[in-house]
Amino acid sequence: MIKLSKSTIVDAKQAIANGAPVFSTERGSLYRLSDSTGFITLRIPQTEYAQFTLAVEEDKKPKGIEVLLIENQDIKFFVFGKIEVEKGVVILNNRPVVIL
C-alpha cells in the first residue's frame, strides 16, 4: 500500500487544475510537483498501461523506486526524481526513460 500525504494530493490537484503537464501522450500526462517529485495521470485503463510498461525496453524503464503505484482516483503513479523533458523525451534523474 502506498499512500500519498494530503498535502501532496492538494498540490497535485492544483497542478492538474492548472493544466500544465510537462509531458503528455494518448496514454496520460506527467506533471512535475517539485524539483524532485512528480506524478502521472492516465487516460487509459491501468491494465493497458501495465501492458505498455512491460513492453518497454529494459534500459528505458524507470526504476521501481522512481515510479510508485499509488491509490488515488486522479493520480495513478507518483514519481520520485528530477523530471526534465528534452526534445520530446522524458529525462528522469538524468536518464532518458519511457514513462508514458
Partner 1 sequence: MKSEIRPSRSLEKSVQITEYSEYLETINHEIAIEVERIIAEEELLGEGRAAKVFEVSVPSSSCPVCIKIWRPEILLMAQTDPLEYHKRQFHKPIEEFDLQDEIYSRRSVATPKPIAFGHIEGHVFMAMEQIKGHTLQEIIKAGAKIPSTVWDSIQLEIIKLHRECGVVHRDLHGGNIMIETDEPLVEGVIISGRVFIIDFGLSCHVVGDPTREDYELTIGNNSVRYTNDFSYLDEIKPMKPGSPFIKGTR
Q: Which stretch binds partner 1 (CB under 8 A): 13-21, 22-30, 92-100?
A: 92-100
Cβ–Cβ < 8 Å for 79, 38 = yes
| 57-84 burial code (b ≥16 CB/10 A, e <16) | eeeeebeeebbeebebeebbbbbbbbbe
Count residues binding partner 1 (CB under 8 A): 37
**Does residue 51 touch partner 1 according to CB under 8 A?**
yes
Residue of 42, 44, 93, 98 interacting with partner 1 (CB under 8 A): 93
Residue 93, C-alpha cell as written in the block:
534523474
**Does residue 25 touch partner 1 according to CB under 8 A?**
no
Q: How far is the CB of 32 from partner 1 (least distance, A)?
A: 12
